[in-house]
Amino acid sequence: MQTLREFTRKTKRGNILKIVREHYLRDDIGCGSELCRECFQNEVYQLTSQHANKSTLFKFPHYLVLDTNVVLDQIDVLEEDVLRNVVVLTTVLNEVKHRSSAIYKRFNEIVHDRTRNFYVFVNEHHKETYADREPDETANDRNDRAIRLATKWYDDHLQASQSSKEFERSGKAATRVVLLTDDAANRAKAEAEGILVTTAAEYVKSLEDFPLLMDKLSHKTFDSEKNGLPQYPPHLSMKELLEGLRQNKLLQGTFQASRENYLEGTVNVEKFEKGILIQGRESLNRAVDGDLVAVELLPEAEWSAPSEIVLEEKNVYADEVPSEERAKDENEMLNQVRAAALSAERTPTGRIVGIVRRKWRQYCGILQPSLIEDTNRHIFVPADRKIPRIRIETRQAAMLQNQRIIVTIDTWPRNSRYPHGHFVRSLGPLGDMATENEVILLEHDVPHCKFSDEVLSFLPKMPWTITDEDYSKRVDLRDLYICSVDPPGCTDIDDALHCRELPNGNLEVGVHIADVSHFIRPGKRTGHGGSGPGETTVYLVGKRIDMVPELLSSNLCSLVGGVERFAFSCVWEVDNEANVLSKRFHKSVIKSKRAMTYEEAQNIIDDATQQNEIAKSLRNLNRLAKILKKRRMDNGALVLASPEIRFQVDSETHEPLEVEVKQMRETNSMVEEFMLLANITVAEHIATEFSECAVLRRHPRPPPTNFDPLVKSARYQGFQVDINSGLELSHSLDKCVKADNPYFNTMIRILTTRCMMQAVYFISGSLQKEEFFHYGLAAPIYTHFTSPIRRYSDIMVHRLLAASIGADSTYAQLLDRKSNEELCHNLNYRHKMAQYAGRASVALNTHLFFRGKEEDEEGYVLFVRKNALQVLIPKYGLEGTLYLKSDKDGKDGVERVKSEIVFTFNEEDHTQRCGDVVFHSFDPVTVRLSLDSSNVQHEKLIFRLVKPYIKGFSVETTTEGTDSQAVSAAPPSKKTKKDKKKK
């Protein structure tokens, strides 16, 4: 049967276009129920009596039909293996797909799990259940009517199948169909049409066998807050937002909450270099980190400046403090924020007036049980300080204490100080290494589930061998003395080198990179799922999350010694002054003669008695690398630094046994120089061959204001830092040397690193050639080619390079500029998250190492802040904050005692003064390191001053037992009168 679907669409020019489409209806679509004797079932029954839902609301067998909002809001409930015999209408599936691709994917996995008995009924093509859109009917109303029509048909259809005398004699209760909807209007219409209907919440509460499932219900509001007073300004409607954005009265951007000050954040808007500053709870107006928001810019007279002070909200149960008292305390905090910003340069400031699109996700953290007994309402404290506390309802509070749990946000009404959410699942005990690593991965959005069967199905079947056809298509380099140099314990070896003398006196140098693109073909899923192309390998302490399955990363693609492997080779002919005379690219077969660590390679170079081919190759490579590095430095490349730690980890407990600073040798620089040369050479080639769609990497020049802390700190030490160009900056940094402090130059370079912008991937056709420049490397063009096992960007570059030399075929998406631009956005995001996850893992292991220890260590002031010193400890290569304005906060909220010690911050020269003691950047200090575990979720490495000695503030070391009287260097906070009463 055929029908016509008509609808109108407005074009960009404002014309109305009438569209008519043929729509086919069938009468042979099965209902999927074992009870039916009429339908032709083309597959195994999905709806069976073996898995009945037991509800106190419906005490008879029944199937469930879900409407769209139930799927969107209650996906965490649906993922639990509780609800069975569910009819999924294609109307609902299509709506969910349109409104949330993430939830659609999760729901699709449930539907395809045959053990769950979810049956997809194609109601849009069944002649009895198709609903044509009526005149003046909205699409949403039409879909609601289609859902009711299908539910009614299902119920009538099953009752007809159960009306036989044979069924009556069986004594079984008839199976009915129940509609779950949270839409009040849809529910009322369903009841009027004689359909069995209830809300998702009421149905879940009726499942007596699963009382804890109620914890996972999405709550739009709590009953006790329905009549509460507004605590935030109202958001503008979407129509008002779009109109304001169109007229440029409002600005749109991504909200970024401050990690250190809960009353502050910024909105990144294209027109403003540093974004728009947001200060105060009302101006933040319920925005959560990552949300796309609309901002109203304040008059210039009301602009403020970032406060640069650390401010934490200590009172977890702020909702229970009287609103007037709470407002007074918050105003005091806001005044403190604004006062700290008075002397600084003002920046554009605004207030958030609406949310364009939420970017809520699942959050890790701990439960803070309510002080009120016999209540299900509790506060969830996220691990990420940028996320506000979340109010949830749970009946498992006692069991979830001291557990890491996951919670998601459902809504944030005006009359609630905190957003509302619901419990999703528990991760494990607080402090457990496996649990804490899981938290790091989840909080940094690192895909880490097992590789799916679909991904594994694309892998080569073992045992894998190189065929004669493979040899014929590649250059045979197995006889060359190729070797790899990597950190100890490296199993994913993706680069190797060779250098040999040519008959004409020149040298041939080759960089050989694992040919991952041979195994990972275009269109095939490669990662853990959920993020699409663009994943990257993530390195935690003692743990690696591979981008590709282990069969590739540590076996078939890894250039291990003595084994034949596929490679993509970049080979140069150079003279003895490292000038490139010619270059060539080819796919090859190599057999690495040896896989070495940096230390082993360095020992071979230094041992003059070793004169074998590997030793000669390494010495030539090392000599050429020094020339290449000097040439880069002369062109203005920067040698930056960052404190890096290496942990010795217990093989059984995976806890850190020892911490040390990573050692850098000449061989580190040797490998780096040739990887840089390969990346630059490949970048030049693919940008020439594919001028519109080459995947490149750029490092923008930082704005001059970024260098202010560096310039002022160096000036005090007697050095002039010139930032007019990268070359002048490089020369300035070389001159910053102190004979009495060999670590001074490293600190200057660490501080310079903090001034840099983030390097990013981009598409060649999206920018002018002048903007391709990589500031840190002083390279006019750059890309990533040398780590395809670890980075998806390198796989894309391999595909482009292979297509350009005829070693592989091209495909449409490879040359699609828009597709590649989206890929670059994802690459940049994944790369950033991988870096953050690695740093978080180092912080976690640092805390574990110092647990139960207290050590006095020499350090240096890296830079001076308005209420703190950032201190670097060279021995461990770690940084920490030594707070200068501190409160004595005892347990249970003991009243604050203000310190008599006064520190004065000088904005001009970035110094802190206390009496005769003045702190400048790079000043030596002695600090006592200990771990503060008072906050079980946010353990902190505490830095307390030992030297220079400031009475009443520094740690007393002359007499035993005085340490306990030292002022604890904890971040400043306010205590409310409510806290005082708890004493």
Tell me which range, 134-138, 231-235, 507-511, 804-808, is most confidently predicted by mean pLDDT: 507-511
Q: What are phi and psi of 315, to 5 degrees?
A: -80, 100
Domains 219-430 and 851-982 are alike in CATH topology: yes
Half-sphere exposure for 139 (CA within 13 Å, toward CB): 10
Structure tokens, 417: 């100080």
User: How does residue 315 score in pLDDT terms, banded at 50, 70 and 90?
Assistant: low
Weakest-pLDDT range from 233-237, 316-320, 427-431, 662-666: 316-320
What's the pLDDT tens digit per position in 705-751? 888 888 888 887 888 989 888 888 988 988 888 888 777 888 888 88
| Mean pLDDT calculated for residue range 886-915 | 61
User: How does residue 528 score in pLDDT terms, banded at 50, 70 and 90?
Assistant: low
Q: For residues 270 and 467, what is the distance between their CA atoms, to the nearest angstrom?
A: 53
CA 17 and chain centroid, separation = 42
User: How does residue 190 score in pLDDT terms, banded at 50, 70 and 90?
Assistant: very high
Sheet harboring 878-883: ordered strands across? 878-883, 868-873, 854-864, 924-932, 940-947
Residue 964 pLDDT > 50: no
Q: Residue 317, exposed/middle/buried by CB under 10 A (0-12, 13-18, 19+)?
A: middle
At residue 653, the pLDDT reads 56
Residues facing residue 854 across a β-bridge: 930
Weakest-pLDDT range from 17-21, 600-604, 618-622: 17-21
Query: The domain at 219-430 falls in which architecture?
Result: Beta Barrel (2.40)
Q: For residues 256 and 941, what is the distance between their CA atoms, to the nearest angstrom?
A: 25
What's the pLDDT tens digit per position in 752-783? 888 888 999 999 989 999 999 999 999 999 99
Weakest-pLDDT range from 4-18, 238-252, 801-815, 884-898: 884-898
Residue 68 pLDDT > 60: yes
Mean pLDDT of the chain: 83
Structure tokens, 43: 């597959």
At residue 970, the pLDDT reads 40
Residue 967 pLDDT > 70: no
Residue 352 pLDDT > 70: yes
Weakest-pLDDT range from 81-85, 272-276, 864-868, 884-888: 884-888
CA 600 and chain centroid, separation = 36
Residue 982 pLDDT > 80: no
Residue 304 pLDDT > 90: no
What is the dihedral sign for C-alpha 849, 855, 859, 865?
positive
DSSP of 14-49, one letter per residue? S-EEEEEEEEE-BS-----BTT-SSS---SS-SB-G
Residue 966 pLDDT > 60: no
**pTM exceeds cut of 0.85:** no
Residue 396 pLDDT > 90: no
Query: Is the bond leading into 463 cis (omega within 30 degrees of zero)?
Result: yes
Residue 670 pLDDT > 90: yes
Residue 18 pLDDT > 60: yes
CATH assignment of 851-982?
Answer: 2.40.50.140
What's the pLDDT tens digit per position in 435-473? 988 999 988 888 887 777 777 778 888 888 899 999 999
Q: For residues 300 and 305, what is the distance between their CA atoms, to the nearest angstrom?
A: 12
User: How does residue 21 score in pLDDT terms, banded at 50, 70 and 90?
Assistant: low
At residue 961, the pLDDT reads 39
At residue 5, the pLDDT reads 60
Q: How many CB atoms lie within 10 A of CB 723?
A: 18
> What 3-state class would DSSP assign to 938?
coil
At residue 6, the pLDDT reads 62
Proportion of the chain in helix, strand, coil states, percent, rounded to 5: 35, 25, 40
User: How does residue 145 score in pLDDT terms, banded at 50, 70 and 90?
Assistant: very high
At residue 447, the pLDDT reads 83
Query: The domain at 23-208 falls in which architecture?
Result: 3-Layer(aba) Sandwich (3.40)
At residue 980, the pLDDT reads 37
Per-domain residue ranges of the chain? 23-208, 219-430, 453-690+783-833, 851-982
Residues facing residue 863 across a β-bridge: 870
| Mean pLDDT calculated for residue range 931-942 | 78
Block residue for tokens 């840089």: 676
User: How does residue 206 score in pLDDT terms, banded at 50, 70 and 90?
Assistant: very high
User: How does residue 897 score in pLDDT terms, banded at 50, 70 and 90?
Assistant: very low
| Mean pLDDT calculated for residue range 347-372 | 89
| Residue type at position 719 | F
